[in-house]
Amino acid sequence: MSGTESRPMPDHNAWPVFAVPWDDVSSGPTDMSFLLDKPAGATGFIQIVNGHLALGDGRRWRIWGQNLTFGAAVLPREMAPTVARRLAKFGINCIRLHHMDHRYPRGILMRHSGTTPVYEPAQSGIARRDVEPTRSLDPEAMARLDYFVACCKDNGVYIDLNLNVSRSFTVADGVKEVDWLGYGKALTYFDPRLIFLQKEYARQLLDHVNPFTGNRYAEEPAVAIVELVNENSVLESWVKGRLRGKQQEPAGTWSDIPPSYAQDLDRLWNAWLSRHYPDREALVAAWSGDLRAFEDPRQESVRRLQPEDFAEASTGRFHDEAMFYAGLERSFFEDMGAYLRGDLGVRQLILGTSDHNHSINQVLHVENNTVLDIIDGHVYWQHPRFPGSAWSRSNWTITNTPMVDAPDHSAPAQLSRSAVKDMPYIVSELNAPFPNDTAAEFIPVTAAYAALQDWDGLFWFDYGGGSTEESWTSGMITSFFSMANDPVKMAQTAVGALMFLRGDVRAAETLLEQHLTHERVVDSLRDTELPDDRRPYVLPYLPGRLALVHATAIADFRAETLVPQEEEVALPEGFILSDTDELAWLETDTGGAVLIDTPAVQGYIGRAMSCELPHLLIELETPFAAVQLISLEDAPIAESGALLLLAAARVANTGMVWEDESRQSLADRWGSAPTRIEPVTGRVTVRGLTGAARLLLQPLDGCGQPLGQPVPMRRRADEHRVDLTANPATLWYKIEIERAEPSKKNGGQ
């Protein structure tokens, strides 16, 4: 599918209703809460063992997580037990509390006194005029947060606390040029006042005692991770031309920095040069003469490079400026880490920030993050674009093409560039935003390859909800990212939890280590050829499909020579088989597809076709679907007494309308509740089950409860078949296996 081809318009309202209630806490075959140890932190603090996350008793711990953003962390108290239990039901064992640094009810900062207008930050990140300080926490917000955290702990759900994400500082905070800051990206690394305020906020939050657990947050074992900043890099801002200081009027978060902060950078840059070079002559020699007559660090007149200067700059000059910015990042991480550990007594693992911008090389930024405990990545498959105002719900587009058609550019390929050997690697944000036609591919494919890479955790973005009851009970998909009411993504979350946390997909047999020279690490910042849609790595000869065959990680940022060399890597074209033989990425006549073939889970993700796996034969009629068969017991499919069959395609709100047949935007026609699913139709055959006499297929509703009567599957030899239809409409089925009693002649007792 190309982004511009004509596609028949679906009649969403003809699809059957299928909903996943926000308050479903029922037990049953789709309840994955048994995967979680309760309470969270029972064995002590999350730690690092052999380069991976582990529980307090040393057992390997993987994160199957969700993001809760803005007011979702301060939901009404009466709803907290239900939300926590529902998270656990879907196998969510950790939640990332994100964007909490806003005024209540949007976050935990002190609400307005009532003497000024209600504060509502603009979606662009430009704060409306606010003259009250943001330097204290709201008591009601903290009471709500405390109770929710306690409920999560009781259900085995750990917490990832985020510090600075999107706080809108005010003039009363003693911050200069506040109307120009947006979220202060890059500035939070070096401005003394902003660093002070971040430490103050960290102390207020982490020193706070939760009365429901009796612990300071800094000493709460149910808190697994503390993150310092979000999607924030000085190096990225430099490469993207956002450190110019040429603003003429207030602008958004992802634009140029205010003029006075650029002047501060100029002074810091010249001071850095003065510390590293005894005189101007030494600097001229180091930069091969790349210094204008007026430039002298002791006169604070050496200018900083802008992206348009990169190509012509000498190696010495470019490398020095890159290391100056890298030093700002690294010093911030070291200073904040020491403050949290030393001054606040934080016992959790500390994370700096994520590698999130895959349009540029960020390997030097990744290296800076190695001074802390965890490496993190973010990725979205075809994030919405906003040609007008940012985050507009009426003026946006998506590309809307399948990830299975782009193996080298897929989410696993993009994310794999950030992993570092012997350090835990998590992905704290990922999603294929609604309403992508093929979003059903994303969770099973990404989770399977994350297991192949042996990563430590995935946080889907985001759950949804807010500080009011209405924000949880709408019954519709309310945003590009919200998953709580998306029946396809939530059903796949439950199955994915079982596959990922149980370790159903084996880790790769080979780890391809990347040894990078310092020169390559730095020069990659001005490499205009990489990354591209097929080559996400700093080594230009490594295609993205490397991540679909072997595990890969950066083993050295300061190597003497590059490893591997180009001639040392041979990767397949077309049929891409993992070195475990369990995952295959196909190139078919109609497009890409992915096969999952392990003893405990098998699946097909792709377009309508016939597919054969050892225990699963699929004859698919639906244009694009993701079908998985997984054992519900601690046994392989062949020996299990119960299986779960998940068959998912598209999802829509009632009344949702595409703008045209390109299906790249809904504009503002998002529809309303209830949600509807495109039924997956075709024939499914289950085979190769040891001693199976009869298979009963039980359709399940959105709560995982029986929907109608079980259907005996048609048997021929050791094959059991059933036709999937729209009646009853469902995403998942429990399959009960009845086995014949073994006879004494065959060894029975």
Given this model, what pLDDT does residue 116 score? 52
Please choose, from the candidates 236, 112, 256, 113, the residue with its C-alpha nearest in 3D space to the C-alpha of residue 184.
Answer: 256
Distance CA 477, CA 473 (A): 11
List CB contacts of 354: < 8 A, sequence separation 6 or more. 230, 231, 376, 377, 378, 428, 429
> Phi and psi of 86, rounded to 5°?
-70, -40
List pLDDT tens digits, range 140-162. Answer: 999 999 999 999 999 999 999 99
Tokens of 671: 């529809």
> Phi and psi of 11, rounded to 5°?
-95, 90
Cis peptide, bond prior to residue 462, ω within 30 of zero:
yes
Cis peptide, bond prior to residue 258, ω within 30 of zero:
no
Across 74-91, average pLDDT: 98
Distance CA 477, CA 506 (A): 34
DSSP 8-state symbol, 136 = S
Tokens of 389: 């105002």
Given this model, what pLDDT does residue 673 score? 98
Q: How many CB atoms lie within 10 A of CB 728?
A: 16
pLDDT at 508 over 80: yes
Per-residue pLDDT band for 502 (boundaries 50, 70, 90) equals very high
Please choose, from the candidates 33, 47, 43, the residue with its C-alpha nearest in 3D space to the C-alpha of residue 152.
Answer: 33
Q: Are 632 and 646 in contact (CB under 8 A)?
A: no
**How large a percentage of the chain has pLDDT more than 90?**
92
Given this model, what pLDDT does residue 474 score? 96
List pLDDT tens digits, range 165-192. Answer: 999 999 999 999 998 899 999 999 999 9
**How large a percentage of the chain has pLDDT more than 70?**
96
pLDDT at 3 over 60: no
pLDDT at 495 over 60: yes
Tokens of 76: 């009404």
Tokens of 355: 């590698």
Distance CA 610, CA 482 (A): 33
Please choose, from the candidates 96, 102, 57, the residue with its C-alpha nearest in 3D space to the C-alpha of residue 376.
Answer: 96
Distance CA 569, CA 290 (A): 38
SS (H, E, C) 574-628: CCEECCCCCEEEEECCCCEEEEEECCCEEEEEEECCEEECCCEEEEECCCEEEEE
Helices then strands, each counted (H, E), the chain: 13, 30
Cis peptide, bond prior to residue 710, ω within 30 of zero:
no
List CB contacts of 373: < 8 A, sequence separation 6 or more. 48, 349, 350, 351, 423, 424
> Phi and psi of 643, rounded to 5°?
-125, 160
Distance CA 499, CA 501 (A): 6
Which H or E run includes 234? helix 234-239
Mean pLDDT over each residue of the chain, to the nearest integer = 95
Tokens of 19: 């909903």
Tokens of 386: 């906003």
What's the N-to-C CA distance of the chain in angstroms?
A: 58
Please choose, from the candidates 636, 611, 635, the residue with its C-alpha nearest in 3D space to the C-alpha of residue 625.
Answer: 611
Taking each helix axis from N to C end, the angle separating 315-338 and 192-206, rounded to the nearest 10 degrees, works out to 30
List pLDDT tens digits, range 567-587. Answer: 999 999 999 999 999 999 999
List CB contacts of 470: < 8 A, sequence separation 6 or more. none
Given this model, what pLDDT does residue 528 score? 87
List pLDDT tens digits, range 462-485. Answer: 999 999 999 999 999 999 999 999
Given this model, what pLDDT does residue 121 score? 46
Distance CA 642, CA 223 (A): 35
Query: Which conformational region is residue 359 in: left (phi greater than 0), alpha (psi within -120 to 50 degrees), or beta?
Result: alpha
Q: Which residues pair with 48 in a beta bridge?
A: 53
Distance CA 250, CA 588 (A): 51
Q: How many CB atoms lie within 10 A of CB 669?
A: 13
Per-residue pLDDT band for 389 (boundaries 50, 70, 90) equals confident
Angle at CA of residue 442, ends 439 and 443, nearest 5°: 120
**What is the residue whose two structure tokens read 């840059």?**
269
DSSP 8-state symbol, 343 = I
Max CA distance (Å), the chain: 99
Per-residue pLDDT band for 122 (boundaries 50, 70, 90) equals very low
List pLDDT tens digits, range 674-716. Answer: 999 999 999 999 999 999 999 999 999 999 999 999 999 999 9
The pairing of beta strand 457-460 with beta strand 63-69: parallel
The pairing of beta strand 616-620 with beta strand 624-631: unpaired
pLDDT at 427 over 90: yes
Q: Are 532 and 504 in contact (CB under 8 A)?
A: no
Query: Top-level CATH class of 59-250+322-502?
Result: alpha beta
Please choose, from the candidates 638, 665, 683, 680, the residue with its C-alpha nearest in 3D space to the C-alpha of residue 491.
Answer: 680
Q: Which residues pair with 69 in a beta bridge?
A: 98
List pLDDT tens digits, range 105-114. Answer: 999 999 999 7
Distance CA 418, CA 449 (A): 15
Tokens of 449: 């390859």
The alpha-helical segments, DSSP class H, found in 305-459 are 315-338, 363-369, 411-416, 442-453
pLDDT at 71 over 60: yes
* Class of residue 626 by CB neighbours under 10 A (exposed 0-12, middle 13-18, buried 19+): buried
Q: Are 170 and 132 in contact (CB under 8 A)?
A: yes
> Phi and psi of 688, rounded to 5°?
75, 25
Angle at CA of residue 634, ends 630 and 638, nearest 5°: 55
Q: How many CB atoms lie within 10 A of CB 661?
A: 11
What does the domain layout of the chain look like in residue ranges? 59-250+322-502, 259-317, 512-571, 577-746
Angle at CA of residue 77, ends 73 and 81, nearest 5°: 85
Which H or E run includes 54? strand 52-54
Q: How many CB atoms lie within 10 A of CB 510?
A: 12
List pLDDT tens digits, range 266-285. Answer: 999 999 999 999 999 999 99
Tokens of 12: 């969403």
Distance CA 734, CA 705 (A): 10
Q: Are 591 and 402 in contact (CB under 8 A)?
A: yes
Tokens of 598: 């392990």
pLDDT at 125 over 50: no
List pLDDT tens digits, range 251-268. Answer: 778 889 999 999 999 999
Q: Are 388 and 665 in contact (CB under 8 A)?
A: no
List pLDDT tens digits, range 210-246. Answer: 999 999 999 999 999 999 999 999 999 999 999 999 9
